[in-house]
Amino acid sequence: MPIGPFAIYLNSNARRVSADIVGQIEELVPPDDIFFASTPEDGDQFARTILDRRYPTVFTGGGDGTVVQLINALWRASLARPERPPLPALGVLSLGTGNALSLLVSSGNPIQDLKTYVTNPSLDTWTISLVDVEGHLFPFASLGVDAEILNDYVDVKTRFGAGRLKPLFQNVGGYFFAFFGATAPRHIKGFVEGRNLTVRITNLGVEAWRIGAEGVRGRAYGAGDILYEGPAVATVAGTTPTYGYGMRLLPWADRHPGFMQLRVSNVPLSWSLLQIHKVWDGTFSAEGLHDFYASEVRLEYSQPVPFQVAGDVAGMREKVEFRVVPEAVRLLRFL
């Protein structure tokens, strides 16, 4: 039996998990039901304890990376048990930087969400699929310039984001600084030198579709068909429409359960930047933008490219396979 009606899982390294926030949480939740994780090993240990105690609900705070880390820790702990216990419903608190998942289901006020649940525990959940890559589940990921900007952002924070300058680099402003200061100049140099990235995308699922206007299914593809082969600035895949800071980079990602939206962009960075408001609200369209619904794909690149998973850097890849895991997790809704 659970010690309490729900648990709290917090990333102690998260920017907004302050002493004040922790104090307010401790006023609402018994201390035995609060888990502070500072390492991946903590996450695995706490996930096993959460399943042992059979908490029906777990709130987690610390950004998309923290949410995804907990989901994967719970997933691994469940797979390791013969009875395959179901994962608890997750309440996603806005306590990170990008907060893509919390923007979909949270009021934006983490303490208010907790108070609402304590006063009137809700069963209003949204079941979402996730994508599996190399045994790791995620709601969105990308290869190419998007991940490259993230790598540059992490480098900027490491080099400049300390002391009094830290607040300038701990939000979306840091991404723009990284883009204009590092990513864009590198791409301009690559363009001048004639270095172009290409990708070959093969459908590994039973069926896939090109996405037409307003997310309508277009041309159908069978297993083994090539969805796309050619130049690519970025390749993005996911099952949720919202990226960090509310950017709807995959506007139809949740349109068909069991399928991800796969977006290949060969749109010049300069044009994307000029249309940033449309990129942000999910209405951007251009000749070099190619969208697909797929359940399983293989991506093969002409050279190693940066890879990011749910806002965390994940190294370089020349080949990667994505596979949708239907109905992987339930998220509490407070909207």
Q: Domain ranges for the chain, please list them.
A: 7-123, 138-327
pTM of the predicted structure, to 2 decimals: 0.86
Please give the pLDDT value at position 3.
41
| 328: CB partners within 8 A, 6+ apart | 71, 75, 87, 128, 129, 130, 137
What band does 2 get if pLDDT is binned at 50, 70 and 90?
very low
246, 280 contact by CB (below 8 A): yes
Q: What is the pLDDT of residues 313-334, one digit of tens each?
A: 899 999 999 999 999 999 999 8
| Domain 7-123 CATH class label | alpha beta
pLDDT for residue 164 is more than 70: no
**pLDDT for res 165:** 53
Q: Rounded to 5 degrees, what are φ and ψ at 78?
A: -70, -45
pLDDT at 61: 82
Question: What is the pLDDT at residue 250?
Answer: 95
- Residue of higher predicted confidence among 174 and 3: 174
Which residues, at least 6 apart from 242, have a Cβ–Cβ distance to it below 8 Å? 100, 101, 103, 104, 248, 249
**Average pLDDT of span 167-191:** 61
CA dihedral 134, 137, 139, 144 (to 10 degrees): -20
Is the model's pLDDT at 26 over the cut of 60? yes
Instruction: Answer whether residue 89 shows pLDDT above 80.
Output: yes
Q: In this predicted model, what pLDDT tens digit does every residue of 251-264 receive, in sequence order? A: 999 999 899 999 99
Least confident piece of the model among 37-46, 117-126, 214-223, 228-237: 117-126
Q: What is the pLDDT of residue 156?
A: 64
Contact in structure between 310 and 130 (CB atoms under 8 Å): no
Domain boundaries 138-327, CATH class = mainly beta
CA-atom Rg of the chain in angstroms: 20
Which of 67-71, 112-116, 170-174, 206-210 bottoms out in mean pLDDT, i.e. has the lowest? 170-174
Is pLDDT of 91 > 70? yes
